[in-house]
Amino acid sequence: MSANRERVYRGSAARATVWRNVSGAERRERRSHLTAPRVPTVGIDIGGTKVMAGVVDADGVILETLRTETPDKSKSPKVVEDTIVELVLDLSERHDVHAVGIGAAGWVDADRSRILFAPHLSWRDEPLRERLADRLLVPVMVDNDANTAAWAEWRFGAGRGEADLVMITLGTGIGGAILEDGQVKRGRYGVAGEFGHMQVVPGGHRCACGNRGCWEQYSSGNALVREARELAAADSPVAYGIIDRVGGHVGDITGPLITELARAGDPMCVELFQDIGQWLGVGIANLAAALDPSCFVIGGGVSAADDLLITPAREAFRRTLTGRGYRPEARIAKAELGPEAGMVGAADLARLVARRFRRANRRRVERYERYGRIYGRQGADS
């Protein structure tokens, strides 16, 4: 059988054989996490406010972590690249780094080499992999940060043992990723998983993407803070607790503060989490109808609210799931790896590239040794 094709059986009686092309990248990602070299790699998670870099071993254990602020979006792409290079070189002084993985909040092309668009940075069709590889002299892998987080949860966290998994990341917006048979499904153009911009309320709240009624306008950190600030600005009686806490400065209301007050039992904050949890459950039910995974993993900063968010999401999911009562229900689990998931996943995916790099180096050394033996014999014969 050709190395670039695999056999697919269709039908029951005839068992017709169909050949389909399988790319090298697809084949590597499907299997090579089991056979990739057990070497340390660096993962980089680039978000809207921070850049986190860490050395991760083959078991997903973080050996060292560095953090710095994300350069302002007004800065040139080279400023961000300089930041990444500085972090990697710093870690390389204390660790033997074989490859670097980048998880970026933005759209990454299907070849995982270019950042097509990053809303919080100045990257526009940026050839990031090539530029960093030229400067770091090690292989570089680039992917969307939700994809890298989902890979980490599938390998080391809440999604272990699941064949089909969907991850939803709740932060300022909603990100997502799809894993099928242990393979990240990126879509034809590399931008699959943008669940937050599914329209759930036609004509609803305006979204930064330009549309109205996107899912992330109703179930995200931004939605949580927006609702709390609107109630406080209206001097609603239900908001007196949070108004007193910020001394009347409505702009000081943040997601972590709402989470803290909800855990302490503040009725308004608890109700806000119930609202966004219900919207989360409705969206998950829609995704279940389309994708039918065995597990949904909920990550991102807002998931730190735990059962305040997950319990109403599960209830709404069961209430709105298509075919409820007559079909298996997907498991809804909170992510286990926390804010390091994207970094860990990027590092682990980079190990797949490190294998090619290491083998290429070994072949190069063997070739030089062979040539040396040949030329050595020729010199002795003369």
Give Cα 183 distance to the centre of its chain.
13
Residue 5: inside a domain: yes
Q: Note whether 346 and 281 are same-domain residues.
A: no
DSSP string, 223-268: HHHHHHHHHHHTT-GGGHHHHHHTTT-GGG--HHHHHHHHHTT-HH
Mean pLDDT confidence for 338-349:
94
Q: Note whether 100 and 65 are same-domain residues.
A: yes
Q: Tell which residue, 370, 378, 348, has the closest CA to residue 54.
A: 348
Residue 49: inside a domain: yes
Distance of alpha carbon 65 from alpha carbon 165, whole angstroms:
28
212-229 per-position pLDDT tens digit:
999 999 999 999 999 999
Distances (CA, A) of 117 to 1, 126, 219, 285: 39, 8, 23, 29
Does pLDDT of 19 surpass 80? Answer: no
Contact of 20 with 6, CB cutoff 8 Å: yes
Residue 57: inside a domain: yes
Contact of 36 with 30, CB cutoff 8 Å: no
Q: What is the mean pLDDT of the chain?
A: 84
Token pair, residue 45, equals: 């998670």
Contact of 146 with 357, CB cutoff 8 Å: no
Q: Note whether 199 and 276 are same-domain residues.
A: yes
Q: Note whether 175 and 86 are same-domain residues.
A: no
Quote the DSSP letter at residue 214: B
Residue 377: inside a domain: no
Q: Note whether 24 and 59 are same-domain residues.
A: no
Least confident of 67-76, 263-272, 362-371: 362-371
Q: Tell which residue, 150, 220, 142, has the closest CA to residue 182.
A: 150
Q: What dihedral do alpha carbons 76, 79, 80, 83 form, nearest 10°? A: 180
Mean pLDDT confidence for 130-152:
92
Token pair, residue 357, equals: 């790099």
Q: Note whether 95 and 240 are same-domain residues.
A: no
CATH number of the domain encompassing residue 95: 3.30.420.40
Q: Which residues contact 56 (CB under 8 A, 6 or more apart)?
A: 40, 41, 42, 43, 62, 63, 343, 344, 347, 348
76-128 per-position pLDDT tens digit:
788 888 999 999 999 999 998 999 999 988 889 888 888 888 877 778 888 99
Q: Note whether 320 and 350 are same-domain residues.
A: no
Q: Which domain does 357 fall in, by range?
A: 36-150+340-366
Token pair, residue 39, equals: 């070497």
Q: Note whether 222 and 250 are same-domain residues.
A: yes
Q: Where are the alpha helices (DSSP H) in the chain?
A: 24-31, 77-92, 128-136, 145-156, 221-233, 240-245, 255-263, 267-291, 307-320, 341-381
Give Cα 262 distance to the centre of its chain.
27
234-246 per-position pLDDT tens digit:
999 999 999 999 9
Per the structure, the count of domains in the chain is 3
Distance of alpha carbon 343 from alpha carbon 348, whole angstroms:
9
| pLDDT attached to residue 304 | 85
Residue 206: inside a domain: yes
Residue 382: inside a domain: no
Q: Note whether 351 and 310 are same-domain residues.
A: no
Q: Note whether 170 and 309 are same-domain residues.
A: yes
Residue 378: inside a domain: no
Residue 373: inside a domain: no
Total-model pTM: 0.80
Q: Note whether 190 and 224 are same-domain residues.
A: yes
26-49 per-position pLDDT tens digit:
444 444 666 777 889 999 998 777
Does pLDDT of 192 surpass 60? Answer: yes
Q: Tell which residue, 93, 123, 103, 119, has the closest CA to residue 51.
A: 103
Distance of alpha carbon 343 from alpha carbon 107, whole angstroms:
17
20 DSSP β-pair partners: 6
Q: Tell which residue, 46, 57, 129, has the closest CA to residue 87.
A: 46
Q: Note whether 106 and 235 are same-domain residues.
A: no
Distance of alpha carbon 146 from alpha carbon 164, whole angstroms:
16
